[in-house]
Amino acid sequence: MVFWRWIFTASAWLLGLGWAWQALDRWLHRQDVSFLSQLSMTPMDEVDGPHLTVVVPACNEQDAIEATLRGLLASQGLRLQILAVNDRSTDATGARMEAVATEYCGSACGHTLEVLHIRELPPGWLGKPHALALAARRAQATWILFTDGDVEFAPEALARALAFAQREEADHLAVLPDWVVTSRAERAMQGAMFAMTGWGLRYWKIADPKARDFLGVGAFNLMRRSSYEAVGGFEALRMEVLEDLRIGWRVKQAGLRQRFAWGQGMVRVRWANGAWGVVRNLEKNVFALFRYRLLVALGACAGVALHIALPLLALAAGGWARGAGVLSFFALAAVYAVQQKRIRVPVWYVIFFPFALTLFLFAMARSITMTLVRGGVVWRGTLYPIRALRAAAGNRW
CATH of the domain at 229: 3.90.550.10
At residue 155, the 3 state secondary structure works out as coil
H or E segment to which residue 104 belongs: helix 93-104
At residue 266, the 3 state secondary structure works out as coil
**Residue 108 · residue 124 · CB < 8 Å:** no
pLDDT digits (tens, 9 = 90+) for 282-312: 999 999 999 999 999 999 999 999 999 999 9
What mean pLDDT is predicted for residues 177-196? 93
pTM of the prediction?
0.94
Domain presence at residue 297:
yes
Pair 286, 266 in one domain:
no
Pair 101, 236 in one domain:
yes
What's the start-to-end Cα distance of the chain, in Å? 40
Pair 222, 367 in one domain:
no
Pair 367, 291 in one domain:
yes
Phi, psi of 396 (to 5 degrees): -155, 165
Pair 244, 146 in one domain:
yes
Query: Whole domain around residue 290: which residue ranges?
Result: 2-31+282-393
Domain count, the chain: 2
Pair 261, 289 in one domain:
no
Per DSSP, the chain holds a count of helices (H) and strands (E) of 14, 13
pLDDT digits (tens, 9 = 90+) for 139-178: 999 999 999 999 999 999 999 999 999 999 999 999 999 9
Domain presence at residue 172:
yes
